[in-house]
Homo-oligomer: A and B are copies of this chain.
Amino acid sequence: MSWKLDKNRPICPQICERLCVEIAGGVLAPHERLCSVRELAVRAGVNPNTVQKAFEQLEAQGLIYSVRGSGWFVSESTEDAATIVKELTLRKTSAYFEEMSALGYSESDVKEYIKEWRMYE
């Protein structure tokens, strides 16, 4: 696992989203043990508290569970993760169109713009 994070966005949700994607995609199987809070913090170069918070949020969503003194584990069901990823996709795309709309682009303007898009870097 490479754990580069985008420093321009809040770290905590990035960790959540990433793990959610890995759970949804089967990279992390049910009942598989996650990195420890401390280890992941070191790997990602962030504070353990931030990782802890992310894990707790995933727990609140029912995606993972913790066992004291032993670690965090992927929940039995993996479907929730997939649902959440889809929701995120929808929400982010919707937000993007909203913002572009505020910049004066119509829906088809955006679609045209995206069609021609070339990612750099």
Q: Which residues of A contact B (CB under 8 A)?
A: 6, 8-10, 14, 17-18, 21, 24-25, 57, 60, 68, 85, 88-89, 92-100, 102-105, 107, 110-111, 113-115, 117, 119
Contact = CB atoms under 8 A, between A and B. Distances in A.
Contacts of A10: 68
Q: Main SS of chain A's interface residues?
A: helix
Contacts of A119: 94, 97, 107
A96 B107 CA distance: 15
23 contacts: A6-B98, A6-B102, A8-B95, A10-B68, A17-B103, A18-B102, A21-B102, A21-B103, A21-B104, A24-B104, A25-B104, A57-B60, A85-B103, A89-B105, A89-B113, A92-B100, A93-B117, A96-B96, A97-B119, A107-B119, A110-B114, A111-B114, A114-B114
A113 B93 contact: yes
A102 B44 CA distance: 14
Instruction: Give me the 10 closest cross-chain CB pairs, A-B, nearest first.
Output: A96-B96, A114-B114, A21-B104, A60-B60, A92-B99, A107-B119, A97-B119, A21-B103, A89-B103, A111-B114
